[in-house]
Structure 1
């Protein structure tokens, strides 16, 4: 078994313990597999690091509950930052156990903490994978539960996080209403 497969299997084992279910499977496990599917589709020659970061993006996400943090934007951002640190720490342990170098581990940690988005190609690639995964599997259920203004706001925020290449690809892969497609046509902020 390769180091990569060892790391991916360990991430899956951790995520298989998620008590939350989505389509009858542990939610984090299914999300990680979807992330890997999009990583392989969007970046067929992805480095081990990018593949591991994609699979581990939500490792043990249920451990830090949103309800345990203050309400409002500041509480949400604190929760997200702490999740990023948790994901990076857990994946770092897994990579060390699979004999990855300290340099490889640090690179994946930076990806999972979103350090250097828009400046670091690997961090940006992970963000593009996250956005495609959201649009492909999670956007429609989200949109069905929220008012149009909130949906538009989320689409704009999603587009803003993406690379120009990824935004253009969204326009060819998804059939979005004109008002939502416009968010992907505009240059990123």
Structure 2
């Protein structure tokens, strides 16, 4: 696993974008690993590999390469899932893992069979928790034109993707949620089953 992490981190260290002075996707991978440590330290090794590689080389597939509409957004997301899954599989094989392990990592990173595959769902849970704790506040700042209704929808959609265990974790006090967005979060969750 150390070898796989080193390969994933080395490729993400090439990210030209910075977050707090660190290559953006390198920091993201570390945040994913840290969240998994807090949320599910008993996770399978394939999940540890998948969360670290979830955004591997994301900057190579920019949103601007697709039409700037809803259809284009979904094409971009689907393309990203395939791109990340294929690259993650290659890196874990290069680290010495067998084909079965690589296939499981690719399935989880590719967000395949979310509700049927517990490993895919766990990667989705961790990504949602990381978004809520680390990225939602900055995302809100970067989107001043988003209406409250739009934000309620984003929060509700994130919440719906999460398992009941991840939802409980998010509300348990184990996370640092953006204080100024808590009223909006509570309002969004009031309508989510």
Q: Distance in 1 between matches of 2:46 and 2:186?
A: 31
1:61 to 18, 38, 58: 58
2:85 to 72, 85, 88: 88
Q: Which residue of 1 aligns with 2:125?
A: 128
TM-score, length-scaled by structure 2: 0.89
1:48 aligns with 2:45: yes
**Contact 2:67–2:73, Cα closer than 8 Å, also in 1:** yes
Q: Which residue of 2 aligns with 1:177?
A: 182
Q: Which residue of 1 aligns with 2:72?
A: 75
* 3-state SS, counterpart of residue 177 of structure 1: helix
Q: Distance in 2 between matches of 1:98 and 1:136?
A: 31
Q: Distance in 1 between matches of 2:185 and 2:20?
A: 27
Q: Distance in 1 between matches of 2:35 and 2:29?
A: 10
**1:184 to partner: Cα distance:** 4.2
Q: Which residue of 1 aligns with 2:113?
A: 116
Q: Which residue of 2 aligns with 1:159?
A: 159
Question: Residues 182 and 120 of structure 1: is their aligned pair in 2 closer, same or farther, counting only changes over 3 Å?
Answer: farther
Q: Distance in 2 between matches of 1:22 and 1:148?
A: 26
Provide structure 2 residue ranges, at least 5 long, that are not aligned to the other structure.
none
Per-residue CA deviations over 1:1-49 (Å, capped at 9, x if unaligned) read xxx0100110000000000111111101010110110011111112111
TM-score, length-scaled by structure 1: 0.91
1:12 aligns with 2:9: yes
Which shifted more, 27-36 or 148-157? 148-157
**1:181 to partner: Cα distance:** 2.5
**Contact 1:168–1:184, Cα closer than 8 Å, also in 2:** no
Q: Which residue of 2 aligns with 1:104?
A: 101
Question: Residues 15 and 59 of structure 1: is their aligned pair in 2 closer, same or farther, counting only changes over 3 Å?
Answer: same
